[in-house]
Chain A
Amino acid sequence: MFRDTISQQDKELVFFTRELINQHIVPRALEYDALGNEQFDGSALDILAEYNLLAPIISPEYGGRGASYLVTAMLLEEIGAGCAGVAAAVAANIQSIAPLLAAGTPEQLGHYLPLLTAPQTSLGAVAMVENGVNLDVLLPTEKVAKHGSSLQAQRSSHGDIINGCKDYVMNAATAKFISTLVEYPECRDKTSSGFQLMVIPLDVPGIKKGPSGRKLGLRYCSTAEIEFKAVKAEPQFMIGGPESGLELFKECMDKTVPLIGAVCVGVARAAYQHALEVSKERKMAGHPVFEESAVRHSLVSMASKLNAARLSVHHACWMIDKGMDHTLTSPQAKIVASQAAQDITSRSMEIVGSQAYVNGNPAEKYLRDAKMLSIVDGSEQFHRFLLASQL
């Protein structure tokens, strides 16, 4: 239904991406997963960079493909079906530029966007989550007062100085810049939460990357802690007006969260297809297990959920593209897609059977990736909360 709304050229791009992923990424997906971000192998991203797929949403003005959110979701599904870790790196890339697309100055756009559309890989990192504290920034103001952000800026006569630490920074290892939420404690009052979104090049003095953490899922996507020690906040770092950060952050999240949903759909699709193939090959008492009604019915449930999840994601993206109110549909898409991904990947494990529990089987990778996807970019619980406050 939504597929019919995109142009022929975009459809071809989606199919081309599927071919590309099947050819280059699928055969090495398990290897990427095994290497993890401890021994990061950039080749997967290099292939995507070569075909300008690291941030397809950027407009042609800055060298991008100018894909709509709907097309981007389709592309991310294809990449996610190959390797969710690679797709997560692309999604984090898009997240890192989302604040710029929403409120960046022409200089910022001209400086950062072409980096991501160049044929050499360069990534943007995104750091919204706090070290220790969670996404409590979005809770009512009395809560913020208690927690706040761990990345704080102090106004001084020499300009603003940022101190603090951000944890779980996606794409941290190789990123050229970071988009982050910085708190000005002295500016927090009844009318303002005191947050400012910033885009900061990672080569400025005072920024230190911590070691990459070992994650259970999305292992290809490098994740690390980034420490800020007396980093001078230049005026060109600021995105949007002072203290508009929280609103802008929410706006960006509403736009990028369906894309994480698209990665969920990709993983779920891969897990479903794997289970379907195995069920037709694996024999029990001389018959393929596919002939068992329990297995058949499980596969039908998986297919129906996958269909519904994909439609939710496409719907949310379509709403964004049309400029309609998407604050409801975006968290809905994330909830449905990440639940579907977890259910489908765990059913896939069951159908594949004992082999699925052996390290290096695709099914177990899908399971780990799906679980991780339900947590990144706001956990399901968080989005439920966000959604409920609008019902």
Chain B
Amino acid sequence: MTRKENQAARARAHFPAFDLPAPSPTHAADALTPFHQLIKRLSETYGPSGSEEAVRELARAEIKGLADQIRVDAFGNLIALRKGAGNRRKKIMVTAPLDEPGVMVTFLDARGFARFGMLGAVKPLTLPGARCQFENGVIGVFGRETRGAADTEKDADAFFLDVGATSAQDAPVRIGDAACLVGEFRAAGNLLCGKALSGRARGAILIETLRRLKRATHDVYCVFTVQSQVGARGAGAAAFALQPDYAFVLDATPAQDFPGGDTNLALGKGPAILAQDEKMIASAAARQVLLEATRQTQTPYQIQAHARGGGEGAPIQAAREGTVTGALGLPVRYLHTQSEMVDARDVANIIEILTSVFAAKTL
């Protein structure tokens, strides 16, 4: 053996993995289905709370021809009505958000660094080193002050945005500009991952349900809501206008089937029927409708009993004389980060359940 060969053999001995066959891939890198392509497009579109125009136009184009009436209300909610044909038809409202969590520039300092505030439940700890994108395409990088870092891990005031400027004057963004997080859409088997995914997957569910729904028994109002991340501001207004008999909120359920998670909700085990969230206890009658639909469609489900997440249910339930309101949660890992992760089977199961509710003979 030459000296060289000898070295190579020793290297193999030290790094035996080099000689092992590669493990079989757990997920085939399939091409995306058209439906998953829609989710990808929605996920990658810019739309922090208050700047939902692009997402709304995308959704509006997708539902063209799938509804009997389409309108945008004073708040900016996109509302699509599919008329029902049943004799004992009810008015059903279903919501999914258009907006996503993001940040807004609140101040530009002399060196061109931007301070920002949160639009929705963005967690400061997830930000340093991450990127955001403004409507005009400008990319910002999140940074955190190092002075007194121990105290500032959670203090949003200690974070800043670097937009590549050298002064307040040459900054490519202005006070009041909003940005969304940057996170490329990826699919691995049933797992879908991307920014804004929890919300946009729910939007895609409404679109796909409208597409697949052949014949509705009930009058179905699909409401793509604005400003959901900043306190469910659009949903209550829509409920006031529509006065539905039943409302079903498509919600995001924090799945914590990861090391050290503290709830027992998981991805892929079916959508969560909410017993409650932080601000609402779901109406018993609406829960029954959802349970019945899971029975009819033989879909798995979980129950969210933890008072987590404040969705759009509360203001809808409280509208006018009261709306019977239920919530169906799409389980999501890493909620409100640039890498929200959902399971495509849960997405598909929600479509099954909604379709069954809309076509149910009686509610």
| A interacts with B | no
